[in-house]
Amino acid sequence: MLSGGHIDNYTRERLVWRLKRTLKTVNWNPFQEVKYDLRIMNIPQHELPIRRELGEAMMVFVEKLAATHLGNDEEDTVMRQVVTEEYRQAVLKAAGQNIEVSLTWHTLATWTEEGKERIGYFARALECRRAETAANPPKTAREIWSDIHTQADCLFEIGRVHFHEGAPEAARRFLAEAMHLAKQADAIQHAAGVTDDLLEGRVAELMLQLPDVIEP
């Protein structure tokens, strides 16, 4: 989904399914998260309605995406673009008030079509994910896997854009880092209870398509 409009039914369903699985993995709930943040991280009171609005916008976005499926490998492309723009405005509004969450940026990046915007949004997701990890390190195997996998996925998607836009060396740098993390995630996916992740294979497949490095 790097350009153009149509997303085939299989891809659309996989993306929606992956997003819902991610929400379940991290137990995303805007109201629960607000309470947790307030208790553990001492979030200022003025941030609470902003975080709540952002969380609600994400949940609405997921539901509206599902509604764009028309069946028979068809989708309402225009409606998908409309709801994505609505969600983009919600994410940017929160960011303008200094509230950023890796999952919301990652979700926006996933459904954004223009290459440079995808790079920017995945980069923001990666930066936020690293900041969140530093502030509140993951503890369980599932949390650790989700953290590593999210970072690897951001790097892979940035590398993928560079690849399709004819910048193989930039793609190679991001894909190499993505592969390193994808292998770490793969090593613990059994302990994390994840059995269907294909990220390492996707990274490897794309790296095989890169031109050979010419030694000086």
pLDDT per residue, tens digit, the chain (216 aa), is 554 334 444 445 555 555 555 555 444 444 334 334 444 356 778 888 999 999 999 999 988 988 887 776 677 889 999 999 999 999 999 999 999 999 999 999 999 999 999 999 999 999 999 999 999 999 999 999 999 999 999 999 999 999 999 999 999 999 999 999 999 999 999 999 988 778 999 999 999 999 986 555
Q: How many domains does the chain have?
A: 2
Instruction: Report if residue 119 sits inside a domain.
Output: no
Q: Which residue has the tokens 């153009």?
A: 4
User: 16 and 93: one domain?
Assistant: yes
Instruction: Give the residue from 114, 69, 106 showing the smallest Cα distance to 87.
Output: 106
In a domain, 188, yes or no: yes
3-state secondary structure of 40: helix
User: Beta-carbon neighbour count of residue 214 at 10 Å?
Assistant: 5
Residue 38 DSSP code: I
- Answer yes or no: do 22 and 109 share one domain: yes
Same-domain pairing of 106 and 163? no
Task: Mark whether 78 and 173 lie in a shared domain.
Answer: no
User: Is residue 70 located within the same domain as residue 148?
Assistant: no
Both 38 and 93 in one domain: the answer is yes
The answer to whether residues 108 and 149 belong to one domain is no
Q: Are residues 24 and 57 in the same domain?
A: yes
User: Residue 20 sits in which domain range?
Assistant: 1-114
Q: Is residue 167 part of a domain?
A: yes
pTM score, whole prediction? 0.81
Strand pairing category for 74-75 and 69-71: antiparallel
